[in-house]
Structure 1
């Protein structure tokens, strides 16, 4: 029987969860740089295992916002990474074809400091805590 790279990785590291690069499934991302920034922020704030779980099982948009604003990114970079990276996540509940990301700004008059986000749909507005994100697989 011929061993594949994935089988070899599982045999070599059976309980570690470590997979060799050639054993990983390739997923085409629409915005790989934004997703990389999101992954790095989640790993920085929560650690590798929890970050992996959040990406695979899902997290609220509010959790993502908190992690991004706690990471070592500028505020502008964090907002841009989240906005650009949303295309690579499965969003629940299903928003349909028409939706709009709304930014919630700080209390200062004329502030452009984003503090939260909402999604507006024809059926109403969803707060960040009510939006569930899972990395597309």
Structure 2
């Protein structure tokens, strides 16, 4: 492997979920913007919006986001203990996820306050 190729070799924990995220970002924003978002970062809210706008079922989008989070660098640093919390539709008894937030021992972060990028 050449040196320039080596920097792109990253072992992913959930490659299928990351592939679905990349495909959704490319579908919604195009190649260049998607690449910029993956390298420079995006909010969890932006990722959620893109995944819900992509040609995936809602359930697949939620699963891919949840599974793919382990492969992203998350800012601010959440520490070792954190929990992804789903925000559901206002309809009584609804299991339709409309947003996500991250709960930590120090408080809860809204999706717009969480920044994600792929490791370099």
Q: TM-score range by the shorter chain?
A: over 0.9
**What pairs with 1:113-124 in structure 2 (closer than 5 Å)?**
113-124=96-107
Q: Per chain length, whose mean CA-contact separation is higher, i.e. which structure has more relative contact order (CA < 8 Å, sep 6+)?
A: 2
1:6 Cα deviation from its structure 2 partner = 6.4
Q: Is 1:65 aligned with 2:40?
A: no
1:60 Cα deviation from its structure 2 partner = 0.2
Distance 1:5 1:107 in 2: 53
Q: Is 1:99 aligned with 2:73?
A: no
Runs of 5+ unmatched residues, structure 2:
none
Partner residue of 1:37?
20
Distance 1:68 1:124 in 2: 26
Q: Structure 1 residues 27, 113: closer, same or farther in 2, change over 3 A?
A: same
1:5 Cα deviation from its structure 2 partner = 5.2
1:46 Cα deviation from its structure 2 partner = 0.3
Larger radius of gyration: 1
Please report the RMSD computed on the Cα atoms of aligned residues, expressed in angstroms: 1.4
Runs of 5+ unmatched residues, structure 1:
8-22
Q: Is 1:88 aligned with 2:62?
A: no
The alignment of Structure 1 onto Structure 2 pairs a total of residues equal to 119
Partner residue of 2:92?
109
